[in-house]
Amino acid sequence: MPPFGRGVLAVALAVGVLVTGAQATRPADEAILPPEDYRFPDARVLAVEHGQHLVALYEDVRRCAPELDFQLDGIAFQRPRQGVSSTPHLTLWVFLDAKRPPLGSNTAGRAAEAVRQYGRKMIRRLSAPSPVAGDGRVGGYGLILSWIGPRKIRDLPVMESLVVFARKEPAAAFASGQMTLPDFLAAADVRMFDGQDEVPFPVLTTREAPGPPGLDGC
């Protein structure tokens, strides 16, 4: 993923030992990358044309998962894996509640718990019917979940992250409950990080009870 934003880390996945990227109740104008800060013209055009949808996405996440917070410039159109030729994906980067980090004996276990807890709910937010969903210039959706892990470096806690980029079709099937979480992840580009170190993400078995969205759409 290319660098982006005002003070966001040079590589978006290299959250390393920094925990100041998330701020409680970060306002929309800090959570959404402004058009002038985009490096690539095609993504900048999307940010301008779909600016209202980015604000609506921010508000929807706030409503459905108020315990989460946004990375600075965490709502943006980004390319997976620094791919200059790949199509921009609507991307959401959120931090899990530091008081209730995902449980697990290792990074992989915590990542699995994080995506089981928030994957479908956040993909529903990203892939909801909208002008973005119907825009052929948008290749899919990206979701970055980050949390404070148990490890420390120089007394500073290390962030762990799970990164998922998916095309629109499997994302929509997963959001609607027509695809299981393991099948969705198998069809997506998935990466896991312990600080700045990329580590293997395991193949998940089916252990979920997705159910339909509630009356509030969440």
The pLDDT tens digits of the residues spanning 51-84 come to: 999 999 999 999 999 999 999 999 999 998 765 5
* pTM tops 0.85: yes
Determine the Cα–Cα distance for residues 123 and 18; give it in Å rounded to an integer. 26
**Sign of dihedral through CA atoms 99, 104, 110, 116?**
negative
d(CA 97, CA 107): 16
Average pLDDT rounded to a whole number, residues 159-175: 96
**Amino acid identity for residue 33 in this structure:** L
The per-residue pLDDT for range 8-18, each reduced to its tens digit, is 333 344 444 44
Which tens digit of pLDDT belongs to each residue from 138-165? 999 999 999 999 888 888 888 999 999 9
How many separate helices (H) and strands (E) can be counted in the chain?
6, 6
